[in-house]
């Protein structure tokens, strides 16, 4: 059994000399001049290395639709018609699961039986 020796403050500081955080390098987008992290696509215009890699307009439209839908739900108003059709139809899996639990409940599988009730059944 070996006994671990304590390190001096100098030895610990030398070991931790590489633990310092580095400053983040921020560049500007060559197209829209907004600040971006290096080696990442621009969130404003969607460009990376001279190519369009993110369709910013589509992302904004989706975000706006989601926001409007959420506001409508909060106000209790009718939601978009396409969403109503989706909500009106129950999923087939849900119907199967519900019918399975109903039949099990009818058979008494979910009822708690006391020892006295069990002896009366036999």
- Give the pLDDT score at 122: 47
What predicted TM-score, i.e. pTM, was given to this entire model? 0.41
Report how far residue 73's alpha carbon sits from residue 71's, in angstroms, rounded to the nearest whole number: 5
Q: Residue range 72-93: average pLDDT?
A: 62
Report how far residue 68's alpha carbon sits from residue 62's, in angstroms, rounded to the nearest whole number: 10
- Give the pLDDT score at 106: 61
């Amino acid at each position: 059994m070996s006994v671990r020796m304590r390190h001096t403050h100098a030895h610990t500081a030398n070991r931790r000399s590489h633990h310092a955080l580095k400053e983040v390098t921020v560049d500007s987008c060559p197209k829209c001049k907004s600040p971006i992290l290096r080696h990442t696509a621009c969130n404003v215009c969607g460009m990376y290395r001279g190519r369009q890699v993110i369709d910013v307009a589509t992302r904004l439209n989706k975000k706006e639709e989601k926001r409007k839908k959420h506001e409508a739900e909060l106000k209790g108003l009718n939601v978009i018609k396409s969403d109503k059709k989706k909500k009106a139809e129950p999923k087939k899996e849900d119907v199967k699961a519900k019918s399975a639990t109903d039949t099990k409940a009818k058979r008494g599988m979910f009822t708690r039986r006391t020892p006295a009730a069990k002896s009366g059944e036999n």
